[in-house]
Amino acid sequence: MKELIDKLHHTQELTREEFLTLLSNRNTETDLYARRLARGVRQKIYGDQVYIRGLIEFTSYCRNDCYYCGLRRSNHAAQRYRLTEEDILSCCQQGYELGFRTFVLQGGEDGYFTGERLAGLVRHIKKQYPDCALTLSVGERTEEEYRAFWKAGADRYLLRHETADETHYRILHPEPLSLQHRKDCLRTLKKLGFQTGAGFMVGSPGQTAETLAEDFLFLKELDPEMVGIGPFISHKDTPFRSREDGTLEDTLFYLALVRLMLPRALLPATTALGTIAPDGRELGILSGANVVMPNLSPLSVRKKYMLYDGKISTGDEAAECVEQLRKRMETIGCCIVTDRGDYKK
Ligand code: SAM
Ligand code: SF4
């Protein structure tokens, strides 16, 4: 196994068969080996700097019905809200004062936010904070809409592919969502010039070594600037309520493999990782991640953006506690910087 990890480290690629062998035969020793190498690669490219992003969860309405997500439209127990433009700008102001230079606008696929409305919002934020980067994470849109976001000044776009295996994709999503369309969106985003983020949940129902091998091959081919990897966590009001959560060990190992395969990627230690383990995000950084995304949403709505049970939304996770986060990162030899934190070409 170590030879395969070394090969990934030195050549940044493995064949499907090699990924399958590695994913099916790993053990604690190989995991730790990969994580240590990944940490070294992160150190070499990004030093000890950890980038922070202010996450603004601006709408909990969604027209989609992804089986795993607490915001799915069939979840009638979900509390829905939508922030006003004024609310969003005041989140940015608070974030700016705390040292954030990237804002991430994330939400369900909410019809209220038409392409035009969102583009207008992007324009306002970029006008007010020209030294900040803006990331959108609002799902599948038309090429025209993506182009309008780009023209309005959006810099990055997060759209996890969720799984690169057709059958697995269907286990996770009802029609009309399709893997082909998801991939088309990602390619369009890259073509338009966005720093583009793909990624997947670890331990989602139906995930196997085979589907994971497809994920790694797809990531290699797409070559995204960002990769979002976090554990699947069940939500009590979804069809996957009784499914097992993804594990810390698996998540850390896959983060490490992505760092070895795409050395320059912006790789967050996700909120979900911090939810399954109190020191999950530190361990994520120590396994190759280099980004954290504290929550900047108004306190009054944080509990309403419940993608999964137990999602952390206060304490060190919250943007207002950036000082605590800074200290936690210092204990592992890293420092949080006031910087847009762009992809290093
Ligand atoms: N609606 C947009 C989309 O789907 O791309 C953005 C918001 S969506 C809530 C952001 C991400 O949350 C998804 O890509 C998915 O991977 C993750 N997510 C949803 N439900 C989850 C769960 N139960 N456990 C862990 N992650 C989850
Ligand atoms: Fe909607 Fe995104 Fe949740 Fe799917 S994952 S239901 S698109 S918010």
Tell me if residue 314 falls in helix, strand or coil.
coil
Concatenated DSSP letters for 133-169? Answer: EEEEE-----HHHHHHHHHHT--EEE---B-S-HHHH
Sign of the Cα torsion 87, 90, 95, 98 reads: negative
Q: How far apart are CA 239 and CA 338, in angstroms?
A: 41
- Residue extents of the structural domains in the chain: 33-337
Q: Phi/psi of residue 133, each to 5°?
A: -95, 150
Tell me if residue 82 falls in helix, strand or coil.
strand
Concatenated DSSP letters for 241-299? Answer: TTSPPPPHHHHHHHHHHHHHHSTT-B-B--HHHHHHSTTHHHHHHHTT--EE--B-S-H
What residues are paired with 106 via a beta bridge? 57, 137
Q: Which of 57, 58, 60, 72 to mutate to test the pocket of ligand 2 (most atoms within 8 A of CB)?
A: 72
Under DSSP, the state recorded for 113 is S
| The model's pTM | 0.97
CATH classification number, 33-337, choose in 3.40.50.300, 3.40.50.1100, 1.10.760.10, 3.20.20.70: 3.20.20.70
Contact present, 236 and 281 (Cβ < 8 Å): no
Contact present, 251 and 202 (Cβ < 8 Å): yes
Kindly state if the Cβ of 56 falls inside 6 Å of ligand 1. no
Instruction: Write the residue with the smallest CA distance to atom 6 of ligand 2.
Output: 72
Q: 248-261 and 2-11 helices cross at what angle (nearest 10)?
A: 40
Tokens describing residue 333: 């030899």
Which helix (H) or strand (E) segment holds residue 212: the answer is: helix 209-222
Q: How far apart are CA 232 and CA 263, in angstroms?
A: 24
- pLDDT at residue 221 in the model: 98
- pLDDT at residue 345 in the model: 85
Question: How many DSSP H helices and E strands does the chain contain?
Answer: 14, 9
ipTM of the complex: 0.99
**From first to last of its 345 residues, what are the pLDDT tens digits of the chain?**
999 999 999 999 999 999 999 999 999 999 999 999 999 999 999 999 999 999 999 999 999 999 999 999 999 999 999 999 999 999 999 999 999 999 999 999 999 999 999 999 999 999 999 999 999 999 999 999 999 999 999 999 999 999 999 999 999 999 999 999 999 999 999 999 999 999 999 999 999 999 999 999 999 999 999 999 999 999 999 999 999 999 999 999 999 999 999 999 999 999 999 999 999 999 999 999 999 999 999 988 998 999 999 888 766 667 668 888 999 999 999 999 989 999 998
**Closest-approaching ligand to the CA atom of 230:** 1
Q: How far apart are CA 59 and CA 51, in angstroms?
A: 24
Kindly state if the Cβ of 106 falls inside 6 Å of ligand 1. yes
- pLDDT at residue 321 in the model: 82
- Amino acid type, 288: G
Kindly state if the Cβ of 280 falls inside 6 Å of ligand 2. no
Which atom in ligand 1 lies closest to the alpha carbon of residue 201? 16
Kindly state if the Cβ of 138 falls inside 6 Å of ligand 2. no
Tell me if residue 124 falls in helix, strand or coil.
helix
**Closest-approaching ligand to the CA atom of 71:** 2
Q: Which of 72, 113, 232, 307 to mutate to test the pocket of ligand 1 (most atoms within 8 A of CB)?
A: 307
Pairing outcome for strands 226-231 and 195-202? parallel
Kindly state if the Cβ of 198 falls inside 6 Å of ligand 1. no
Kindly state if the Cβ of 72 falls inside 6 Å of ligand 2. yes
- Give distance in angstroms: CA of 65 to centre of ligand 2: 7
Under DSSP, the state recorded for 105 is E
Contact present, 8 and 260 (Cβ < 8 Å): yes
Q: How far apart are CA 109 and CA 61, in angstroms?
A: 7
Q: Which of 60, 69, 232, 307 to mutate to test the pocket of ligand 2 (most atoms within 8 A of CB)?
A: 69
Concatenated DSSP letters for 20-48? Answer: HHHHHH--HHHHHHHHHHHHHHHHHHHTT
Q: How far apart are CA 260 and CA 262, in angstroms?
A: 6
Contact present, 196 and 184 (Cβ < 8 Å): no
- pLDDT at residue 314 in the model: 64
- Give distance in angstroms: CA of 60 to centre of ligand 2: 9
- For tokens 């697995």, name the residue: 168
- pLDDT at residue 315 in the model: 61
